[in-house]
Every structure is written in structure tokens, then in C-alpha cells.
């Protein structure tokens, strides 16, 4: 199977032309797990099949590294735009891509005849609890979850006793086609995400699991963020997470409407004019290498 590895701010996926490489649906989860393995496979945060579509110019069929399906990836969809233009699947600078039934619109910016950066209309963020989804108290399912407490429990043995430690965080929840919980912290560099990330991902309040962004506000136009992605773990960047982060910042009155999000893998610019408006994401897309993988 021919593939291309690409990355946006270090958020790397393996891309497959679904029109040429017609893999049976039942085989894809296992194939994604093998090819995403960083020791025995190509290595990546997951795999994306670029398919023909009747509803848009292309379909993005996305999988996490554990083989589970995902609805949307901001860095991934920028790389889809680069892939289809650079490999001659389109000659348009403005394209549409559908993923999990939602159409996104991409503007491609070229450098030396290749796509360098991509601006994506990521759509209007979803803010109601039941649609994100996040479990709310009865009667509050249609309300927003803004700066709301979330208790994380940790258990450990002390001799023959089990000690339960509870930590309370404040979360703001947003869906950008996939669910996010944004947690504002004083220090992102010192966080042990390998330990705390799974506690958020599998918390009972998130029926579809959750992507969690840990965010430090630097000033009104700049934030720093680390992310724990469901089904993958910590990644160097998350495009939808950047969008959710800036939406959460604005809802909490912490930033202006255009914000640079600093990530482990680079920077992404997000613009949101407020409730009812779409989120716009602008960032880089790069090709790493192409190759073949046994199936």
C-alpha cells in the first residue's frame, strides 16, 4: 500500500489515497494500529484515508493510532489540502472536505508551487452539553459548560490501605466536530500528561471520551497549550484543540478574538468572532516522506 507521511506542527498522520488503495473497512482499524506504531510501523498519531465524495471535493476518513474512528483533526485536514493539491488531485486553491458528515472549507496558500499554509473554516463551535457530549445535571443538558468544576480521583496503596486523592479542575467544554475539555493552568510545562491525561479521557462525564487541552494564557493574543488526545495520548499539536482553546478563552473573557496558540510542535493562529460565528484556523502543512507498507 502506498502512503505519504505528513505533519502539521508535529501532529503527524499517515495519508492514503482511498481511490487507489481500496482497503476493506473491516481491515482498516488493525492496519491503522500497525502502520501507526512508532517502533514496528511507519509511526504517526493515526491514519487518514482521502476518498472521493459526492458531498464535497474530498472525504477525510480519519483514524486514531489505536484504530478508533475520529470525527475531525485540524492539523490533519490542512495536510489533506496539501496532499490533494501537491499530488495533482485538484488544481483549485479553495476546496471542500467532508469528515464524519461535516463539510469544511479550505483556502490553500502556495510557496514555490506547493501548498505551504492552509486556512480552514472549522465551522461554528458546539457549546451545549448534550451535543458535545458532556454529562450534565438533569435539566442542564442544553446549557453551556463554562468554567465548571471537574473532580479527578486517584487511588494508590499505602501499606494495606487504599488512599483516594481528589483534585478539582475547572473545565470549559467545546465541540469542534469532536469533543474537547479546556483546562486553564498556571504551568503547562511541568504537567505529567502521561499520568493525568487518561483520567480526563476516560472520566465518566465524557460518554465519547474527551480530548483535553491544558492551557496557560500568556497575554490577550497568545496562549500556550499541551494536549492529551483520546485514542492517541499527548501529541505535539491539535488543530481542533487550538480552536476549542481559543473559544474557551473568549467565553471566559481571557483573550481577544485572534490568538496565536503555541504548541510543542509550532504555532497556529485562531480567529473567532464569538457565539454563532465560525472558527478560522491558519497553520502549516508539510510532507515528511512517501513509501509503501505491506498489507
pLDDT, position 137:
87
Cα angle value 36/40/43 (rounded, 5°): 30
Per the structure block, which three cell numbers stand in for 241?
484543540
Given 9, 73, 79, 242, which residue is catalytic? Answer: 73
Both 138 and 258 in a single domain? yes
Both 252 and 136 in a single domain? yes
* Whether pLDDT at 19 is above 90: yes
Q: Which of 17-31, 66-80, 149-163, 247-261 has the lowest mean pLDDT?
A: 149-163
With a pLDDT cut of 90, the percent of the chain lying above it is: 94
Both 137 and 273 in a single domain? yes
Both 151 and 209 in a single domain? yes
pLDDT, position 166:
85
For the stretch 103-146, pLDDT in tens is: 999 999 999 999 999 999 999 999 999 999 999 989 999 999 99
Both 106 and 148 in a single domain? no
Per the structure block, which three cell numbers stand in for 221?
493574543
Of 176, 187, 178, 180, the closest CA to residue 215 belongs to 187
Both 49 and 152 in a single domain? no
Domain containing 43: what range?
Answer: 2-122+284-292
Both 143 and 267 in a single domain? yes
Both 93 and 200 in a single domain? no
Is residue 243 part of the annotated active site? The answer reads: no
pLDDT, position 164:
67
Q: How does DSSP assign 70-113, residue by residue?
A: ES--HHHHHHHHHHHHHTTS---SEEEEEETTEEEEEEEEEETT
Is residue 73 part of the annotated active site? The answer reads: yes
Q: In the chain, how many domains are there?
A: 2
Q: For residue 193, what is the enclosing H or E element?
A: helix 193-201
Both 113 and 150 in a single domain? no
For the stretch 167-224, pLDDT in tens is: 999 999 999 999 999 999 999 999 999 999 999 999 999 999 999 999 999 999 999 9
Both 229 and 247 in a single domain? yes
Q: Using CA of residue 62, residue 122, residue 188, residue 154, what is the dihedral sign?
A: negative
Both 101 and 193 in a single domain? no
Query: Contact at 8 Å (CB) between 9 and 263?
Result: yes
Given 9, 173, 238, 249, which residue is catalytic? Answer: 238
Query: Contact at 8 Å (CB) between 129 and 139?
Result: no
d(CA 10, CA 48): 15
pLDDT, position 97:
98
Both 17 and 111 in a single domain? yes
Q: What is the CATH number of the domain that holds 95?
A: 3.10.310.10
Amino acid at each position: 500500500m502506498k502512503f505519504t507521511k505528513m505533519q502539521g506542527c508535529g501532529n503527524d498522520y499517515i495519508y492514503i489515497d482511498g481511490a487507489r488503495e481500496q482497503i476493506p473497512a473491516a481491515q482498516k482499524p488493525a492496519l491503522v494500529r500497525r502502520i501507526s506504531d512508532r517502533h514496528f510501523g511507519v509511526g504517526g498519531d493515526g491514519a487518514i484515508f482521502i476518498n472521493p465524495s459526492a458531498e464535497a471535493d474530498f472525504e477525510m476518513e480519519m483514524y486514531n493510532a489505536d484504530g478508533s474512528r475520529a470525527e475531525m483533526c485540524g492539523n490533519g485536514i490542512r495536510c489533506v489540502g496539501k496532499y490533494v493539491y501537491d499530488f495533482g488531485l485538484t488544481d483549485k486553491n479553495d476546496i471542500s472536505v467532508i469528515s464524519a458528515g461535516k463539510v469544511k472549507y479550505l483556502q490553500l496558500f502556495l510557496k514555490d508551487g506547493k501548498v505551504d499554509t492552509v486556512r480552514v473554516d472549522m465551522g461554528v463551535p458546539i457549546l451545549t452539553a448534550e451535543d458535545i457530549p458532556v454529562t450534565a445535571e438533569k435539566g442542564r443538558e442544553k446549557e453551556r459548560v463554562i468554567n465548571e468544576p471537574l473532580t479527578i480521583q486517584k487511588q494508590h496503596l499505602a501499606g494495606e490501605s487504599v488512599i483516594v486523592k481528589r483534585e478539582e479542575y475547572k473545565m470549559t467544554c467545546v465541540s469542534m466536530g469532536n469533543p474537547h475539555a479546556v483546562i486553564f493552568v498556571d504551568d503547562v510545562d511541568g504537567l505529567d500528561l502521561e499520568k493525568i491525561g487518561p483520567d480526563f479521557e476516560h472520566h465518566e462525564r465524557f460518554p465519547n471520551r474527551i480530548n483535553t487541552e491544558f492551557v496557560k494564557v500568556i497575554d490577550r493574543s497568545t496562549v500556550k497549550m499541551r494536549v492529551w488526545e483520546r485514542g492517541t495520548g499527548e501529541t505535539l499539536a491539535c488543530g481542533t484543540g487550538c480552536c476549542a482553546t481559543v473559544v474557551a478563552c473568549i467565553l471566559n473573557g481571557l483573550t481577544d478574538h485572534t490568538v496565536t496558540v503555541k504548541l510543542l510542535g509550532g504555532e497556529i493562529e485562531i480567529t473567532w468572532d464569538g457565539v454563532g460565528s465560525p472558527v478560522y484556523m491558519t497553520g502549516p502543512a508539510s510532507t515528511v516522506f512517501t513509501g509503501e507498507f505491506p498489507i
